[in-house]
Amino acid sequence: MDTELEKISKICMNTTDFEALTGNIVKDLVAAAMKYPLMTETGPVIGLTELRAALNLGPLPPWRHRNVTKPSEQELGSASTLEEYYDLKEPKSKMRSLDSWWLLEKNMAPAVVYFDEHFPAIRKIFRGKFKKIREEGVKDRKMVDRMIEEYSAIKEKVYKAMEKILNNFDKKSVNF
């Protein structure tokens, strides 16, 4: 995992790449402005998609307003299915909510396509880790908790790789 992310972190992107990341709906300076939220949120979206798939859950739910309160022990205890339990615990982000100042839900689909084409190792890393955990035991709350912990650890490593790419950005490619 670390070797793949190290390779990714050395990539130097330019404005054309960021335009593609947005699905070519904006150009140049606007695409460059969207690079940070898209580069930092797409990895987590891929990770959560793979996490849900490993648990045989449906796709990511539509964006909602962000609820910053953590579920209580009583709420967690009263979840009658593994999916209800997971839904209470699924990691959230303001950037991936209706409260985002930068992104709309529809901005994520082209970014995911871009990542799958240019950084396929990210999906492979998440999928491989979750598959390994899934094969190790019974699908229960402990497994959900472990997968969420692994998701968080991988997400941080992916985030660091994306930060390095953002620092490698070819600033000469932006037309001011």
Residue 131 confidence (pLDDT) above 70: yes
Quick one: the chain helix, strand, coil %, rounded to 5?
Answer: 65, 0, 35
Mean pLDDT of 21-42: 92
Reported as a pLDDT band with limits 50, 70 and 90, residue 175 is low
Instruction: Please state, in angstroms and as integers, the Cα–Cα distance from residue 17 to each residue in 49, 98, 103, 111, following that order.
Output: 23, 26, 18, 11
Please tell me the predicted confidence (pLDDT) of residue 176.
Answer: 46
Tokens found for residue 23: 């699905």
Residue 172 confidence (pLDDT) above 60: no
Mean pLDDT of 20-32: 92
Reported as a pLDDT band with limits 50, 70 and 90, residue 137 is confident
Largest CA distance in the chain: 56
Contact present, 168 and 14 (Cβ < 8 Å):
no
Please tell me the predicted confidence (pLDDT) of residue 4.
Answer: 92
- What percent of the chain lies above the pLDDT cut of 90? 80
Residue 139 confidence (pLDDT) above 60: yes
- Domain ranges for the chain, please list them: 2-62+74-169
Q: What is the 3-state secondary structure (H, E, C) of 122-151?
A: HHHHHHHHHHHHHHHCCCCHHHHHHHHHHH
Would you call 97 helix, strand, or coil by DSSP?
A: coil
Reported as a pLDDT band with limits 50, 70 and 90, residue 170 is low
Phi, psi of 36 (to 5 degrees): -65, -55
Lowest mean pLDDT among 24-28, 47-51, 112-116, 152-156: 24-28
Mean pLDDT of 156-168: 92
Query: Which string of DSSP letters, residue by residue, matches 5-56?
Result: HHHHHT----HHHHHHHTTSSS-HHHHHHHHHHHHHHHHHHHHHHHHHHHTT
Mean pLDDT of 23-40: 91
Q: What is the pTM of this model?
A: 0.92
- Tell me the pLDDT tens digit for each residue of 37-66: 999 999 999 999 999 999 999 999 999 998
